Amino acid sequence: MTRKIITCCGFSLITFLGIWLFLWLQCPQYLLYHEQNQLFLFTGNYFANSIVVPGGMADYLSEFVVQFYYVPLYGALLTAFILTLSQVFLGLACRRCALSEGAYALAALPSILYVAAMADENTLLSYAMAMLLTSLSLFLFSLYKNDSLLSDTLILAIGFVILYWLAGPFALTFIISGGILCRRYLAVAIALPIAFFIIWGIHSLWFEQYPLSRLLQGINYYRVPEVYPTLLYVNALVTILVSLVTLIKNRVVKDANVISYLTEAAVLLFAVVYIATSFDKDKSRILTYNSLVRQGRWTDIIEKAQKEKPTDFFSLQAINLALGMTGSLTESMFQYNQKGAEGLIGRDRLDNTTQLITAEAFYRLGLTNIAFSTTFDLQEAIMNDRKSGRLMKRMAECMLINGNYKVAAKYLGILRHSLYYADWARHTEKLLGEDNVVEAHPVYGPLRRNAFKKEAFYDSTQIDKILAMLTLDSDGSNKLAWQYFCAAAMLKGNLTTLIGVYNYFSEHHTPPRLSRHVQEAIAMYWTSVHQSFEGIPFPISPEVQQQTAALAQAVMSNKNNPAVWKSVAPDSYGVYFLSNALTQPAESSPEYQPIHE
């Protein structure tokens, strides 16, 4: 008996440690993504609004846990705890029904499938919480012993109603698994139609604002309402199958211990293989860049980019922002696979992710109004109608910089009710109405001073011109804007504007230092209309002159052999420019594909 208990405990401990370490070390970007798509508040209203829908308690508890994803170590720990506990209760319920030893280990399958389902960034923890509440209910039900069909049916039906309200439609598995565990198949046959009738009744009476399908699939198990991944159905089915396994022992299995160990080993092996193959590398990379930008880890972004050289716009925007923030955008951007101005500033997309880096760039550049509207729309695009701590914080900052203190106060007042943003909100509230303090602030002060000042409408296709105006507005003191302008002009091939703005600065202010790529661009432009660099009025280094001349020569003699002329001036603007002009673009890595816009 003791050995059995030790084995079970050991198995659960391994499950717990495995999930915890995996989520903490391999998936912090997923956890941070979940955290940024909700804002848990310690208010009565938040609680009341959560629990008024079926499954609301699971939503509330899961969102309470997800707020700890802000620190992935804690978030992973709590998630592992929930999933392990779910396995323990389901396993104990199966064990108490006295049949198969292997069932305890098999009870980990739903939790394992859930971890695999987390590879879809829109799978919500509410589903795992529903699993936990259901397995707890099954365990409690297994403690209760009754010989009466009527009382079992009643308990299953009443238990379902309560559980449905707390956990949502995953509660249907309570009826089926509960019925199987107590061998009351007739009770299942009676209680199940009653359950569907109850859901239909709840929908008709109180929840007509939701389609019936959402009450059957779970209002908040998945972030995008009109989509429901198959894996979530499979998970519920597996929970039922696990309870069915308890029927097997009496007929087939003889050596319980061997079967038990084999099952545990098989489950763990399945977990390792299945979870590892479930996570998509491209999506994982995109979410990683998102989390690194959020944390301002610019050097880490550059280090990561040097290893991967991604080509999707989202990653490129993150890399370019990191280069800009470290002052090296126009020094080294062509070391990466640039593919136009959209890799710098994204075009309008209406999902909750694609424009995250662009919004960050707008903010850091001083395009505060556009940063606010983009961030506002990003928050509004969270498909389960939640708000976002990360985005609301940014919206408050934009309003502070713009001097709209009343709206900033509103956002700060809301953030004060959160866990991880409360201290920041209280501290920032001291800036409200204090123009002098804001202007002296190390972050907000320069952003207010460097803000775009002319009246104009935003147009993503004119981003190079907007950045030129932003640079000119700040008399060159907005270094990030200067870098972004040069980069945008180079990526769009708009070298005339680039030279024009440089000349303006040369005439009216101190001319900005020409970084390597800008020199390369000007040299390219010069050689397109001049035979030599003699008399060039720009400070182009001899090295760049030489490289440009060599590149021009190489292209002339090896026009159809890009590998040759690309090797003459690797990672230079010239190669980027000529590659776009002369060759087909290289194959791109996949873009972030929102499930819904």
Partner 1 sequence: MKYKILTLLIILFLLGCGRTPTDVKKVASLPPILPDYIDVTIPPGIAPLNFAVVNDKEEVQRIDVTIKGANGDELHTNGKYADFNIDKWHKLTEENRGKKLTVSVCAKIAGEWRQYDDFTINVSPYPLDEWGLTYRRIAPGYEVYSKMGIYQRDLGNFNEFSIIENTMTDGQCYNCHTANRTNPNDFVFHVRGEHGSTMISKGGDCTWLKASNDTLGGSMVYPYWHPSGRYCAFSTNQTRQGFHISGPKRLEVFDLSSDVLVYDTEKNEILLDTLLNTKAWSENTPSFSPDGKWLYFTTCYQQEYPLKHKEEQYNLCRIAFDEKTGNFGSQVDTIFNAVALDKSVTWPRPSYDGKYILFTLSDYGYFSIWHKESDQWLLNTATGEARLAEEINSNDADSFHNWSDNSRWVVFTSRRNDGLYSNLYLTCIDDNGYFSKPFLLPQANPEEYYTQSLYSFNTPDFTKTRVDFNSRAAVDAILSDERIPAQVR
Stretch binding partner 1 (CB under 8 A), from 25-33, 80-88, 189-197, 456-464:
456-464
CB of 200 to partner 1, least distance (A): 12
Among 255, 303, 348, 435, binds partner 1 (CB under 8 A): 348
Segment interacting with partner 1 (CB under 8 A) among 310-318, 404-412, 511-519, 525-533: 404-412
* Residue 344 binds to partner 1 (criterion: CB under 8 A): no
* C-beta of residue 134 within 8 angstroms of C-beta of residue 74: no
* DSSP label of 586: P
Q: Are 237 and 180 in contact (CB under 8 A)?
A: no
- Is the CB of 156 or the CB of 401 nearer to partner 1? 401
Which positions from 434 to 453 touch partner 1 by CB under 8 A, shown as an x/- string?
A: -----------------xxx
Binding flag, residue 3, partner 1 (CB under 8 A): no
Verify binding: residue 456, partner 1, rule CB under 8 A. yes
The residues facing 222 across adjacent strands are 123
Residues 6+ apart with CB under 8 A from 499: 522, 525, 538
Neighbouring-strand partners of residue 391: none
Q: State the minimum distance, in angstroms, from the CB of residue 374 to partner 1.
A: 8
Task: Give the span between the Cα atoms of 455 and 343, in whole angstroms.
Answer: 26
Report d(CA 246, CA 110) in Å as an integer. 16
Size of site (CB under 8 A) for partner 1: 45
Q: How far is the CB of 296 from partner 1 (least distance, A)?
A: 24
- 373 binds partner 1, rule: CB under 8 A: yes
Query: How remote is the C-alpha of 77 from its chain's centroid?
Result: 19
Does 49 interact with partner 1 (rule: CB under 8 A)? no
Nearest Cα neighbor of 287 from 32, 578, 485 is 32
> Using CB under 8 A, which of the segments 256-264, 369-377, 490-498, 562-570 binds partner 1?
369-377
406 binds partner 1 (CB under 8 A): yes
> Treating both helix axes as pointing N-terminal to C-terminal, what angle do 56-66 and 149-167 enclose, rounded to 10 degrees?
50
Q: Least distance from C-beta 452 to partner 1, angstroms?
A: 5
Asked whether position 414 contacts partner 1 by CB under 8 A, the answer is yes
Among the listed residues 109, 128, 302, 367, the single contact to partner 1 using CB under 8 A: 367
Among 26, 278, 402, 580, which residue sits at the site for partner 1 (rule: CB under 8 A)?
Answer: 402
Question: Does position 43 bind partner 1 by CB under 8 A?
Answer: yes
**Which residue in 381, 514, 544, 568 binds partner 1 (CB under 8 A)?**
381
CB of 207 to partner 1, least distance (A): 9
Query: Does the footprint of partner 1 cover residue 413 (CB under 8 A)?
Result: yes
Could you tell me which of 38, 32, 80 has the C-alpha nearest to residue 59? 38
Query: Minimal distance in Å, beta carbon 299 to partner 1?
Result: 31
Among residues 227 and 262, whose Cβ is nearest to partner 1?
227
478 binds partner 1 (CB under 8 A): no
Asked if 209 touches partner 1 (CB under 8 A), the answer is yes
Residue 461 in contact with partner 1, rule: CB under 8 A:
no
Three-class SS state of 596: coil
- The 3-state DSSP class for residue 373 equals helix
Site for partner 1 in 243-262 (CB under 8 A): none
Angle between helices 389-402 and 368-380 (to 10 degrees): 150
Count, residues in the chain: 597
Region binding partner 1 by CB under 8 A among candidate stretches 82-90, 99-107, 128-136, 373-381: 373-381
If one asks whether residue 370 binds partner 1 (CB under 8 A), the answer comes out as: yes
Nearer to partner 1, 327 or 403 (CB): 403
Binding status of residue 420 toward partner 1 by CB under 8 A: no
End-to-end Cα, the chain, rounded Å: 55
> Which residue of 58, 106, 466, 521 would you call a contact of partner 1, by CB under 8 A?
466
Residue selected from 1, 3, 147, 455 as contacting partner 1 according to rule CB under 8 A:
455
d(CA 18, CA 83): 11
Task: Collapse the DSSP code of 529 into the 3-class scheme (helix H, G, I; strand E, B; otherwise coil) and give the result.
Answer: helix
> Could you give the CA distance from residue 465 to residue 470 in angstroms, rounded to a whole number?
9
CB 215 within 8 A of CB 203: yes
Q: Does 457 bind partner 1 (CB under 8 A)?
A: yes
Which of 278, 369, 558, 580 binds partner 1 (CB under 8 A)? It is: 369
Distance CA 146, CA 129 (A): 28
Q: Distance between CA 24 and CA 76 in Å, rounded? A: 5
**How many alpha carbons lie under 13 Å from residue 183 in its C-beta half-sphere?**
10
Interface region with partner 1, contact rule CB under 8 A, candidates 28-36, 187-195, 287-295, 397-405: 397-405
Q: How far is the CB of 399 from partner 1 (least distance, A)?
A: 8
Alpha-carbon torsion (449, 454, 456, 462), positive or negative:
negative
Neighbours of 234 (CB within 10 A): 16
Q: Which two tokens stand for residue 156?
A: 């299953």
Map residue 123 onto helix, strand or coil: strand
Which one of 377, 465, 562, 580 is in contact with partner 1 (CB under 8 A)? Answer: 377
Q: Please identify, using beta-carbon distances, which residue of 303 and 348 lies nearer to partner 1.
A: 348
Q: Check if the beta carbon of residue 180 is closer than 8 Å to that of residue 173.
A: no
404 lies in the site for partner 1, by CB under 8 A:
yes
Answer yes or no whether residue 486 interacts with partner 1 by CB under 8 A.
no
Q: Please, are residues 480 and 367 in contact by the beta-carbon 8 Å criterion?
A: no
Smaller CB separation from partner 1, 380 or 571:
380
HSE of 422, CA atoms in CB hemisphere, 13 A: 10
Q: Does 488 bind partner 1 (CB under 8 A)?
A: no
Please identify, using beta-carbon distances, which residue of 297 and 596 lies nearer to partner 1.
Answer: 596
**Phi–psi pair at 336, nearest 5 degrees:** -110, 170
Task: Evaluate the CA torsion angle 82, 85, 90, 93 in order and state its sign.
Answer: negative
Residue nearer to partner 1 on the CB measure, 404 or 553: 404
Burial 495-525, CB ≥16 within 10 A → b, else e: bebbbebbeebeeeeeebebbbbbbbbbbbb
Give the tokens for residue 270. Answer: 């399945």
Where along the sequence are the contacts to partner 1 (CB under 8 A)? 43, 45, 208-211, 214, 225-226, 348, 350, 367-370, 372-373, 376-377, 379-383, 385, 387, 402-404, 406-407, 409-410, 413-414, 451-458, 466, 596
